[in-house]
Homo-oligomer: A and B are copies of this chain.
């Protein structure tokens, strides 16, 4: 099998991956996470589009990832430089996305990213790439937060969870019923994630450390790659007085479920074709089913 045939074979069998990175991924040494992203795109010959719209310093962002992807042997990576929603709806400008094997969203500000690309032709093409062509969508820091339908838009990291200290916005919706936070252990954001879950028990919180990625293969399973851990905070069985207390007060939270998945963890859906994934611990089953769900294009 030629390299191109192998790549075509891999893509045809791919269910689509999300590589959700907690920021600060290594871009110079072993680059374990970016290397994994490239693999999941189909290898060095894959076409990768880098979306820098989250950042106010797009050119510098592109330079960084241009060098990193080159160092990983990638030859067909391109910069999608968008300044406005008009750009994100410009079919000429976004043409590279139509046959991209991977799309990578850099850090910056997730509110800026969504303001520019949310609901545009680019947004629709990214969903089509993932869901119809099995492409790989990567995002780091702001690009990670932006992936869920409910997006952590803004919030202070207080010592304690606080009512009203966090605000959500509408994200890209590659995942649902979750909210994603990044730089998680490094910036001590558990309180902030608990603040979200206290007021939004419908959402499970996902906290991703720096240089760490949650890799989701739709319909198959998940994996944690890199140096840190992924923390999951599940408040669905919780009881709380958050509805009764004043703004900025600390809520009582009883029976929040917490899971810590260190790098190296792999979990497969029951019956999924991934023989080396471990069986799924029962408390994670529903979480796994949810985030690997093959949501249709809406």
Contact = CB atoms under 8 A, between A and B. Distances in A.
Contact of A239 (B252, B263, B281): B281
Interface string A269-282: 00000000000010
A254 B160 contact: no
B209 A159 contact: yes
A32 to B, nearest CB: 16
Contact of A258 (B253, B261, B281, B283): B253
Contacts of A4: none
**A160, A249, A265, A283: most-surrounded residue (chain B CB, <10 A):** A160
Contacts of A260: 160-161, 194, 250-253, 256
Nearest to A258: B256
Contacts of A186: 159
The 5 closest A-B pairs by CB, nearest first: A250-B262, A255-B283, A253-B260, A159-B185, A254-B281
21 contacts: A159-B209, A160-B228, A160-B229, A160-B262, A161-B260, A190-B190, A249-B262, A250-B260, A250-B262, A252-B260, A252-B261, A252-B262, A252-B265, A253-B258, A253-B260, A254-B283, A254-B284, A256-B257, A256-B258, A256-B260, A257-B257
